[in-house]
Every structure is written in C-alpha cells, then in structure tokens.
Structure 1
C-alpha cells in the first residue's frame, strides 16, 4: 500500500426488489475500477441477505489516481445505470493517520467491516512510534550537532519536526501499526 493511499467507503440503499440486478451492478463497477491505474482493491458487504443498506469500499494509491477514476466517463456511465435502484446515502474518505489504522483490503476475498480503533489506541500507537524516534534524535543531535543545546527552542523544535515527521509518516507509524494490528483491530467488548 502506498503512503498516500485513499480508502473510500460508500453506503448505498438498494431497492429490495432488484437485489440480483444490484449485485451484478456492484461487480461491474469493481471490474471497471480495476482497470484504472492506482486501483488497490475493493469489496462490498451487506449485514444480512434481506438488508437494503450495502457498504462498498475501494482503495486507490493516491488522490490523482482516485480522481481519475471518480471523474471518468466509465464511472459516470456506471453510476447512471444503477441510479434507478441504488441510492448513495453516505461517502467517507480515509487518508493520513486514519488510513494507517484501516485493515488493508484484498480484492480477492470478501471484506470484513473495518474496525477503526478508539482514539486512545491510536494515540498510544503514535506515542509508541514517536517517543523512541524523538529520544534517539535528541540524543544524536545533542552529541553530534555542535551547539545544539544553545539553539533557540523554536529552531530545535522546527528542525526536529522537519526531520522526524517524514520518518514517522513513512516508517515509524506504519511499522508500529503493523506490529500492533491485532490489538488495534480487536473488536470492542460488548458489556
């Protein structure tokens, strides 16, 4: 998965009298999207066989490839063919930090509902990645950059955040969330 990957979650209400047609229509949309560069996978799920609320997820490598798909004549045509029996009720895009907490989508298997961990688990994960990186950077800077401790605090914070933010974004957080994925994706206990 690319570092700028975007996951789109769409909820649609489907006419219960046209479920078979809707099933074929959804698969046709997935097949069309699959031909676009940057497509990373998709899936759809219903809560039960009689449910009229359907959830579809798809992921693209970045905003440019997602925009190419979403603004394509093929997608407009496809949406038009389903407009009589499928109405979009909610759309959500996930990028950045929230995207790291999503379960990756594999287009070859049925998706499970995405479990977004509570904010305290997200904060804990970020801290577990950031603390050791910040500590290591501070020790290295203190011992190897002449006069580091005499720099103005705003300049030290500026330099450390400029260095640590990309390290955290491209390596630290993805590594920590991969290690903690079973804990992060554990469903909440029902009391």
Structure 2
C-alpha cells in the first residue's frame, strides 16, 4: 500500500437519453466521496456535447483512504444506482511513482475485461541494475582515487557513505534517464 496520494481516473459510457440523470448521479458520487477521510478532490467532464464518453477523477491521500471509499456501502449503492445508464470502460490509478520518480510511464489501466499490467519485475530489476552498476563503478573508482584512506574505512561506513551519495543520483538522474531510454521495452505490448 502506498502512503502517497493516489488519483483514480474512470472513463464511463453514458446512455445519451439519460444525460440529466447521469449528471445528477455523477455529482452525487462526488458528494458522497467528500465525506470520507483522506478525500483530496474530484471532478468530471464529458468528452463533448454529443459524446457518450464521460471522465471522472478523484484523489485520496493514500491507498488506505482510497480503499475505505472504494469498499464503502455508500459507493456500492451509488454505483448500483447508476448501473442502468453508466458503464465503466476503463480505470487508471496513478501515484506518481510508477514511472520511477519521474512522470509515470506506465499506469495500471483496468478495462472492463481485465487490466494492463506494469512491467514485469525482472524488467524493473534489469532497468535498476542498468542504472546502478555503472554509477556504482564510477563512484568506487572516484572515491578510491580522490579520498585517501577510503579502503581503510570500515565496510559499514563505506556502504553508508556510498548509499547516501548514490541514492539521490539514482532517484533523480539515473532511473528517469534509463527509464526513458528503455520505455519501449518496458511498456507492455498492446
């Protein structure tokens, strides 16, 4: 579970003969969600005046708050009350970390028939390794050359210094760069 804000985007198809009812229904869903702790905001838009596609966004403080809303009896009642005229087509959840510390490159998309997975763990691990290995080698050479007595320091202290220096570089420079380079390989085939 994440402890960062999570945004949910839902695409629905709405019966064009029941626009007024669907409009009231959407607003009712927002009004119900506002009563839940951790609610950070929401909104909805229609794709166009004659479109049957509607988009709804809502945001909660973390997974736990979102889960309370999504498993609530109020939400279940609300979804059931709209089942005759509004049909969910796609759901996306974004936390901002799926893209490894930059803009998300892969999001979880749930279609009415299933979901599109994030990259497999082995691809994520390979991507991290491709950034970490060269950075670690360069750091090891530089510290051995520039810091007298580096090899005489206790192993735990060297590991502490190394991770304190390399973690921000990995987080803000290497992983976003490697992720961008490998994006076509990381994204699931459609």
Q: Which category describes the TM-score, using the shorter chain as reference length?
A: 0.5 to 0.7
SS in structure 2 of the partner of residue 51 of structure 1: coil
- Counterpart residue number, 1:14: 14
Change (3 A) 1:55 1:145: farther
Q: Aligned partners of 1:27, 1:100: CA distance in 2, in Å?
A: 32
Deviations 1:143-178 (A, max 9, x none): 8896269888xx85995279726x95xxx69xxxxx
Q: 2:81 and 2:102 mapped to 1: Cα distance?
A: 34
Match of 2:84 in 1: 84
Structure 1 residues 149 and 81, CA gap change in structure 2 (3 angstroms): farther
Match of 2:34 in 1: 34
Question: How does the TM-score come out when normalised to structure 1?
Answer: 0.56
Q: Give yes or no for the alignment of 1:54 onto 2:57.
A: no
Counterpart for residue 43 of structure 1: 43
Q: Determine helix, strand or coil for the equivalent of 2:48.
A: coil
Residues 145, 15 of structure 1: CA spacing in aligned structure 2 closer, same or farther, 3 A cutoff? Answer: farther
Summarize the alignment of residues 22-171 of structure 1 with structure 2, pairs less than 5 Å apart.
Answer: 22-95=22-95, 96-98=97-99, 101=103, 142=143, 147=150, 156=159, 159-160=162-163, 164=167, 168=171
Q: Is the 8 A contact 1:41 1:59 kept in 2?
A: yes
RMSD: 4.1
> 2: distance between equivalents of 1:30 and 1:48?
20
Closer/same/farther in 2, CA of residues 162 and 89 from structure 1, 3 Å limit = farther
RCO (CA 8 Å, sep 6+): is it higher in 1 or 2?
1
Per-residue deviation at 1:45?
1.0
Give me the TM-score of the superposition, normalised by structure 2.
0.56
Deviation at 1:50, TM superposition (A): 1.0
Report the equivalent of 1:185.
none
CA 1:163–1:11 in structure 2 vs 1: closer, same or farther (change >3 Å)? Answer: same
Q: Please, which moves more after superposition, 40-49 or 8-17?
A: 40-49
When structure 1 is superposed on structure 2, of 56-65 and 88-97 the one drifting more is: 88-97
5+ residue gaps, structure 1, are 103-133, 174-191
